[in-house]
Structure 1
Amino acid sequence: MLTCLKMQSASPKYVKDIEFKIQSKLKLIKHTNSELLETRQLYFDETLEVYQEAFKELTDYAVSHSSLLVKIKNAYEDALQIRDERMSQFIIQDKVFGISVRKKQRDEKVRTLMRESQELRQENLKLTFEISKMKKELGKLSDDKFSDYITLMKERDARYTLYFENVALQLKLRELDGTSRSLYVDDAYGDPVVLRIALERCREQLSTTQTELKRVTDEYSDTVPRREHDNLEAKFYDISKKLDSLTSEFEALQNTHKRVLAQKKGVEEELMECKERCRELERAGTPRPQWEICADFISGGRDRWWQLASGLSSRNMLRVLLKELGPAAESEHLEYFDGLGSDPAVPPYLRHEGRVRNLRLSRRELRVALAAVWGGKRRRPAEPMQDYLTHYFEERYHQPSIRAEWAYNLCAAAEQMLDEPQVKLFWGVLHGQLSEDIYWGHRDQWYTIKEQLYKHSKDGENITIEDFEKVTRSTFPLKSEVEIKNLTDVMKKQLKLKINATDVNLDKLFYENEEGFDRVEFARELYRQRQLAQDKYIREVVAELGGKQANNTVTVDSLKRAFAIVDPAINHIRMERYIRWAFSEQTAELSSIGPIPLRALVARLAAGDIERVGQRYRGTRRHK
C-alpha cells in the first residue's frame, strides 16, 4: 500500500521538467495590478502562451493519451479563435458607434459656437448703434453749450464796456473841471453833453463788439468745449477697446469654427473609411459551412457523421464527405493532374505529357515560391513573365517531371488562392491581364519609405511615432491625413504597440522573411492605398472624357487633354507611357494610333501602373 502511494505521489521526470519550465517562464512575466483591462489581458495572454507550450510538450510525452489531449487542445484553440474574432467584431462596432457619437457631440459644439457668434454679432451691432447715437447727442450738447457760452461772453463784454466807459467819462470830467476832487464826479452824470458823448461811444463800441462777435461765432461755430471733448474722447477710447476685444474674440471663434469644421470633415472621412473596410470584411468574409446538413446524406445518420467528422478540419471533413458520397472522390485526379500536352496553345511552362503529382501547396509555400520568382525576375525586366517562368523552372529543376510538377502545382495553388493580393497580382501579370510595373512601383514605394525612415531615425533603428508621421507625410505628399493615420494604425497593429508607446522599431517593422516584403501588413496597406488612389485618378480622367456612361470612342488627343487637366504636374514622358499602355501600342507613332472605345480604355488603365504625379488644383491641399 505504501509503495502504491509513493508511486502515485511521484510524478514522471518529464512532468517535473515541464513544471520547472512553466515556473521559470512565469517568473519572466511581469505581474501587473493595473485596473486597465487591456494591460491585464496582455498579462493573461502571455501566461496562456506559457501554458499552451507546456500543454503541447505534455501531449508529445503522454503517448497513451495524446489523441485525447490533441482534441482538447484543438477545441480550446478553436474557442480562443472564435473569442478573438468576436472581440474584433465588437471592437469594430464600438469604434463605428464611438465615431458617430463624437460626430454628434462635435456637431452640437459647432452649433453652440455658431449661436454664440451670432449673439456677438448682434451685440456688436447694438454697440455700433449706441456709438452713433452718442455722437448725435454729443453734437446737440455741443451746440447748446456753445450758445450758452456765447451769451455769457456777450454779457461779460457788455459789462466790461460799460465799466470802462464809466471810468473814461469820469476821467474826462475831471480834466474839464481842472480838479481832481471826487465830489464833482457825481454831478457830471447829470450833464447832457457828457451823456451824449458817452452814448455815442457806447454805440460805437457796441457796433464793434457785435461785428467781432459775429466773426467769432462764424469761426468757432463747430468748436466743442475742451472738457466735453476730453470726456467724449475718453468714452470713445473705451468703446474702441471693447470693440477691438470683441473683434478679436469673434475672429478666434471663427478660427475655432473652421478648425471644428475641418475636424468634422476628417471624422466623416474616417467614418467612410471604416464603413468601406466593414463592407470589405463583409464581402471577403466566408461563413463557416453548416456541416450538420451533411448528416442527412450519409448512411448511418447523424451519429455516424459525427463519428467520421469529429475533430477534423474543414478540408479533411470535405474529403470524408466526398469519400462517403461515391467512388469518384477516390479517383486519382485528386492526387494527380493530367498533363496538357505539348500543343503550341499551351503555355511553355505547362507543356507536359502524362500525369503530374498534386503536391497541395500551402499558402506559405506558394508565397515563398512567388517571392523567389519575383526575385529572379528583377534581373530580367524586359522578358515577359511567361517566358521568364519557363526559364526559371528550367534553370531550377533539371528533371522534366520535377519541373512539370512544380509548374502545375504553382499554377493550381495560385488559381485557388486569388483572394490574396500578392497572388492575384502575379496571376494577372502571368496571363497578361495586369502590368508588371504595378509590382515594381509598389516595391519602389516600400524601399523608399524604408530608406527615409532609417535616414531620420535616432539611432539607426528606432524612430518616434511623430517623426514617423512627418517622414511618411513628406515621402508621400499626395496622401491625405486619413491615409497617413491608417498607415500609422497598421504600423501599431503590426508591431503590437501599447497605447502609451512613443518609439517604433524599424527593424521589426521592415522585417522580411522568405515570403517577401509584400507579406508585411504595412506593405499591404501601402498597396491597398496605392490601388485606391489609382482608381480615383482613373475616375477623374474618365469624368473628363465624358464619364463611363458615354458610348463614344477616345482619341489620343482627348486622353492627353484629360491627363493634363486632372494631373497638371505630369511630364510628357510619363504621359506618353500611360497613353501607349492604354492604347496597347508601344512602337507606333502617337499620331497614327486610332481611337478605341471608352470601356476598353478604362479596363486598360485599371490594369496598368497609372499613378498621379501632383495635385489637381495648385495651391490647395487635398483633404480626402
Structure 2
Amino acid sequence: MHRRFQKVFGISVKKKQRDDKLKLLVGENQRLREENLKLTFEISRLKKDFGKLNDDKFSDYLSLMRERDARYTLYFENVALQLKVRELDGSSRGCSVDGACRDPAVLAIALDRCREQLSVTQTELKKMKDEYAESVPRRDHDALETKLSSLTMKLGALSAEYEAYQNVHKRVLAQKKCLEEELIEYKEKCSELERAGTPRPRWELCADFIGGGRERWWQLASGLTSRDMLRVLLKELGPAAESEHLEYFDGLGMDPVIPPYLRYEGRVRNLRLSRREVGVIINDIWLGKLRQPRDLAMQDYVTNYFEERYQQPSVRAEWAYNLCAGAEQMLDEPQVKLFWGVLHGHLSEDIYWGHRTQWYTLKEQLYKHSKDGETITIEDFEKVTRTTFPLKSEVDIKNLTDVVKKQLKLKINTVDINLDKLFHENEEGFDRVDMSRELYRQRQLAQDKYIREVIGTLGGRRTNSVSVDSLKRAFAIVDPAINHIRMERYIRWAFSATACDLGSVPPVPLRTLVARLAAGDIERIGPRYRGTRKNYK
C-alpha cells in the first residue's frame, strides 16, 4: 500500500513538473510572440521612415535639379542680355563679361531701350488683338466648314424630299380637283338623263284600244319585246303599218305655211336613206352654205340646193322628204339635231360656224407645233389644247385626250399622235369625228354653265321679266372680257331684235330669254375672275 502510494505520488510530482514546464514554455512562447509583434511594428515603422527618407532625398534631388536649371537659365539670360547690350551699345571694342558690360550706365541705357521695344511690342500686340478679335482659328474654321458642308448636304437632301412631297401634294390636289369637276359633270349628266329619259310605256293601256279587250291583247303581246309589241300595236290600230304607207310619203301640199322645199302634192317615194347618206347630204349642204352670205336663211338655201341639183319636182321632192324623214330619225345625233334646229329656225346657225372655227383652229395649232408636220406627243397635244382653249378645265383636257386615244386606238405606252389620222374627214364631214363630237359636247356644256351664271346674276327664278340693261349688266359681271360688239350680238339674239334700236326693245319673260340664249351661239370670252395660266409657245 505504501509502495503503491509512493508510486502514485511520484507520478503526480512528475505530472506537476511537466505542467509547470509547459506553463513556462507557454509563457515564453507568449513573450516571444509579443516581442515578434513589436519587432514587426518596428520594421514597419522603419520602412515608413526609410520611405520618407527616400522621398525627402528625391525632393532634395529635384530641388537641386531645379536650382541647377534655374542657374543655367539665369546664366544664359545674363549672357543674352550682355550680348544685346553690346549690340545696342554699338561699340566695336570688345566687352568681356566681367568688364564694361557690368557698367550701370550701359545697363540703364539697355534697360531703356528694352522698355521702348517692350512698349512698341505691346502696342503692336494690342493692335493685332483688335484687328484679329473676330478672326477664327484655322482649326475651328476647318471644323466649322466641315460641319457646314455636312449640314448643306442634309439640307439639300431634305429640300429635294420636301420638293418631291410638294409635287406629290400638288398632283393629289389636281387629281382631287379633277375628280370634283368630274363629279359635278356626272351629276349634270345624271340630271340631264333624268330629265330627258323616256319612262317605260304602260303596255296594259293598249288593251282598251284593241278589239277583243285585255285577253286578246295579252295573247298578242305575251313574250314579245317592246319593239315587237309596238309593231303588233301598229298593225292592230289600222293601215298606218301597211307596206303601202311605209313605201310612200304623202305630200304636204302647196300651202305657203309649208317650207318651200317640202311644197309638193301627191305621193313621194320613200328612198330609205341610210344614216351615212343623210350625213353626207347634210355635210354637203353645210359646205355649200359656207360659200353663201350668212344672212341667207337655211330654208331658202336648202330650197335652192335641191332646185340646183334636181330639175324635176318629183325627184326634188323625193330627196327633200327623205332627207327630212332621215333627219327626224337621227335626232339622237348632235350634229343632225343642230342641222334640224337651224333648218327650222329653232337654233342659231352661228353654233355650227363657231364649232367649225374651233375645230380648224385646233387643227392648225397642232400641225404648227408638230415634230415632223405629222405627229405630236400627247403631252404637247395637251399643252397646245390648253393654249388654244384657255377656259377649258383639266377635266375637259383629259376627256379630249381620252377621246383621242380611243379614236386612234392608241396603246398604253404610246406617246405620239398621228395628226393625219386624227383629223381625217370622210364625206360626212368633220363633225362626225369623235374628237369633234367631244369638242361640241364640251362647248354646249360650257354654254349651259355660262347661261346659268347669267341667269343667276339676273336673280334666278325670282325674276319675272328681263330688260336689255339688266342683261347687259349680267353679261358684264359674268364675263368681264366681253366686248361691246359681241355683247350687242348676244342681246339682239336673246331679244329677237335684229335691226331695231335696243333702247326701244321691251322686257321679255325670263323663260323666253333662257330659251333664246340656249338656242344661240353664246360663248364665254374670258374668266369671271382674273387668274394666271401658263401658255405653250
Provide TM-score, normalisation by structure 1. 0.54
1:359 to 1:286, Cα distance in 2 relative to 1, 3 A = farther
Q: Aligned to 1:418, which of 321, 327, 331?
A: 331
Q: Aligned to 2:511, which of 599, 611, 618?
A: 599
Q: Aligned to 1:482, which of 395, 401, 404?
A: 395
The whole-number CA distance in structure 1 between the counterparts of 2:220 and 2:398 is 54
1:326 to 1:434, Cα distance in 2 relative to 1, 3 A = closer
Residues 446-525 of structure 1: pairs in structure 2 closer than 5 A: 446-525=359-438
Q: Aligned to 2:479, which of 567, 576, 594?
A: 567
Shift of 1:367: 0.8
1:396 to 1:500, Cα distance in 2 relative to 1, 3 A = same
The whole-number CA distance in structure 2 between the counterparts of 1:390 and 1:255 is 61
Shift of 1:591: 2.0
SS in 1 for 2:348: coil
Asked if the contact 1:298/1:324 (under 8 Å) is kept, the reply is no
Matched, 1:400 2:313: yes
Task: State the partner residue of 2:132.
Answer: none
Task: State the partner residue of 1:264.
Answer: 176
1:475 to 1:394, Cα distance in 2 relative to 1, 3 A = same
Asked if the contact 2:262/2:317 (under 8 Å) is kept, the reply is yes
Matched, 1:543 2:451: no
1:448 to 1:326, Cα distance in 2 relative to 1, 3 A = same
Shift of 1:498: 0.6
Give the AA of the match of 1:493: K
Shift of 1:505: 1.0
Number of equivalent positions? 385
Asked if the contact 1:298/1:325 (under 8 Å) is kept, the reply is no
Task: State the partner residue of 1:432.
Answer: 345
The whole-number CA distance in structure 2 between the counterparts of 1:285 and 1:362 is 26
1:275 to 1:540, Cα distance in 2 relative to 1, 3 A = closer
Matched, 1:355 2:267: yes
Matched, 1:371 2:280: no
Q: Aligned to 2:469, which of 554, 557, 561?
A: 557
Give the AA of the match of 1:470: K
Shift of 1:513: 0.8
Task: State the partner residue of 2:300.
Answer: 387
Shift of 1:442: 0.4
The whole-number CA distance in structure 2 between the counterparts of 1:453 and 1:301 is 59
The whole-number CA distance in structure 2 between the counterparts of 1:419 and 1:492 is 24
Asked if the contact 2:239/2:245 (under 8 Å) is kept, the reply is no
SS in 2 for 1:602: helix
Task: State the partner residue of 2:443.
Answer: 530
Task: State the partner residue of 1:337.
Answer: 249
The whole-number CA distance in structure 2 between the counterparts of 1:271 and 1:286 is 24
Shift of 1:282: 8.3
Asked if the contact 1:464/1:503 (under 8 Å) is kept, the reply is yes
Structure 2 spans left out of the alignment, 5+ residues: 1-135, 208-214
Structure 1 spans left out of the alignment, 5+ residues: 1-225
The whole-number CA distance in structure 2 between the counterparts of 1:577 and 1:325 is 50
The whole-number CA distance in structure 2 between the counterparts of 1:300 and 1:543 is 55
Q: Deviations over 1:338-393 (max 9, x none)?
A: 11111111111111111111222221111111111111111112210111111111
1:363 to 1:250, Cα distance in 2 relative to 1, 3 A = closer
SS in 1 for 2:462: coil
Q: Aligned to 1:580, which of 488, 492, 496?
A: 492
Asked if the contact 1:553/1:595 (under 8 Å) is kept, the reply is yes
Q: Aligned to 2:521, which of 609, 615, 619?
A: 609
Shift of 1:471: 1.0
Query: Identity of counterpart residues, as a percentage?
Result: 75
Q: Deviations over 1:471-528 (max 9, x none)?
A: 1111111111110000000000011111111111111111111111111110000000
The whole-number CA distance in structure 1 between the counterparts of 2:408 and 2:357 is 22
SS in 2 for 1:337: strand
**Quick check: 325-334 or 595-604, which moved more?**
325-334
Give the AA of the match of 2:181: E
Shift of 1:552: 2.8
**Quick check: 480-489 or 585-594, which moved more?**
585-594
The whole-number CA distance in structure 2 between the counterparts of 1:254 and 1:470 is 22
Task: State the partner residue of 1:169.
Answer: none
The whole-number CA distance in structure 1 between the counterparts of 2:200 and 2:373 is 46
**Quick check: 320-329 or 419-428, which moved more?**
320-329
1:512 to 1:246, Cα distance in 2 relative to 1, 3 A = closer
1:297 to 1:502, Cα distance in 2 relative to 1, 3 A = farther
The whole-number CA distance in structure 2 between the counterparts of 1:371 and 1:486 is 26
Provide TM-score, normalisation by structure 2. 0.63
Residues 240-259 of structure 1: pairs in structure 2 closer than 5 A: 257=169, 259=171
The whole-number CA distance in structure 2 between the counterparts of 1:417 and 1:254 is 51
Shift of 1:443: 0.5
Asked if the contact 1:425/1:434 (under 8 Å) is kept, the reply is yes
1:562 to 1:355, Cα distance in 2 relative to 1, 3 A = same
Task: State the partner residue of 1:618.
Answer: 530
Matched, 1:443 2:443: no
Shift of 1:262: 3.4
Give the AA of the match of 1:513: N
Give the AA of the match of 1:412: A
The whole-number CA distance in structure 2 between the counterparts of 1:339 and 1:578 is 38
The whole-number CA distance in structure 2 between the counterparts of 1:411 and 1:494 is 30
